[in-house]
Amino acid sequence: MQNAPSDENTFNPISAWIPLSIVIGSIISFATWAADPNSNEAVFLIILMGVFLFLLPTLIGCFIVGPNQSRVLVLFGNYKGTVRKQGFYCTNPFTLKHKVSLKAHNIATQTIKVNDLRGNPIEIGAVVVWQVANTAQALFDVEDYIDYVDVQVETALRAVAALHPYDEQGNEVIVSLRGNSEDVAEELQKMIAERLARAGIQVLEARISHLAYAQEIAQAMLQVQQADAIIAARQKIVEGAVGMVEHALSDLSERNVLELDDERKATMVSNLLVVLCGQENATPIINTGSLYS
C-alpha cells in the first residue's frame, strides 16, 4: 500500500540575533564583573559555567538560510516545518536542519541505446531542467531525490523513444523523433513530471540533446535516406518535365508553327523527356532526312 505524500508546511523560527545579543551582553557583563578584584572566585566559576551552558545550545541552534535555499527542520523524528525565507535564525538545538536547494538543476543524461517504434536501434540523450517544489516530499518520500531524478529521467526517455519511429517513411503521417522534436519534447516533459511528482520535483523543461541511429545500422539507414531523397528528386523532375512538354506542344499548336501527327508528337515528347530528365547534358543530332525514312 502506497503511503500518502508528505505535506510541506512553513516554519517561522526566531531571529538568531536575539539570543546572540543576550549572550554577548552576558559575556560583557561577566567580563566586567570578573575584572573586579573583589569578585568571589566561586561565584565566578558558577557564572562562567552558566554562560557556557547558555552559549553552547544557542550556537548549535543557529542556522542560516541563503537565497533559493531552504532548511527542513526535524525534531525528535517529527517534521516541524520548512524555512524558505532567507535570514539568520535560531531554533531548538536538538533540531536536525536538512538543507534542500530550491535552485533549478540541469541534468544531461548519458547517450543510451534503445529501439524505436520500428525496432531500429538508436542512440538518444536528453537535457532536463528541474527544481524542488515540495521539500517534505523530496526529503521524506524518496530515499535520495537526486538519484531518483536520474533514474526516472532515463526510464522516461527510453519509454518515449520506444513510442515513436526515428523518422517518417514515404508519405506516412506520424510523430517521429527527428521530424517532430517539439512534440516529442513536450511528451517527454509530461512523462518525466508524472514520474517525479512522487518526489515533489517540478520539471521546468525537457529536450532531446542527442539523436542518431546506432553505429551498426547508421550506414544502411543513410543509404535508405539517400534513396528516398533521390526518388523524391526524380519525381519532382519528371513532374516538371511533363508540364514543360505539355506546354511546348500546346504552344506549338496554338501558334501554328507546324502540324504534328501522333507519331511526331510521340517522338518529340520522347526527345524532350530525355533532355529534361537526363543527368548529363544533351548532345543534339541534326536529322537531314525524313522522319519516316
The pLDDT profile of the chain, 293 residues, written as one tens digit per residue, is 567 788 889 999 888 887 777 777 766 766 666 666 665 556 666 666 666 666 777 778 889 999 999 999 999 989 999 999 999 998 888 999 999 999 999 999 999 999 988 888 889 999 999 999 999 999 999 999 999 999 999 999 999 999 999 887 766 678 888 888 899 999 999 999 999 999 999 999 999 999 988 877 656 666 666 666 666 667 777 777 677 777 777 776 666 666 666 666 677 667 666 666 666 665 666 555 555 55
Query: What pLDDT, on the 0 to 100 scale, is given for residue 252?
Result: 66
Query: What pLDDT, on the 0 to 100 scale, is given for residue 153?
Result: 95
The SS3 call for residue 82 is strand
Angle between helices 181-196 and 145-163 (to 10 degrees): 140
Amino acid symbol at 33: W
Query: What pLDDT, on the 0 to 100 scale, is given for residue 260?
Result: 64
Q: What is d(CA 217, CA 124) in angstroms, rounded to the nearest whole number?
A: 15
Amino acid symbol at 197: A
Nearest to 201 by CA among 158, 139, 109: 139
User: Which CATH fold would you assign to the domain 105-213?
Assistant: Tetrahydropterin Synthase; Chain A (3.30.479)
pTM of the model: 0.69
Query: Are the CB atoms for 83 and 65 separated by under 8 Å?
Result: yes
Ordered by start, the domain boundaries in the chain are 14-101, 105-213, 218-277
Instruction: Enumerate the H helices of the chain as residue ranges.
Output: 17-34, 41-61, 135-140, 145-163, 181-196, 215-254, 262-277
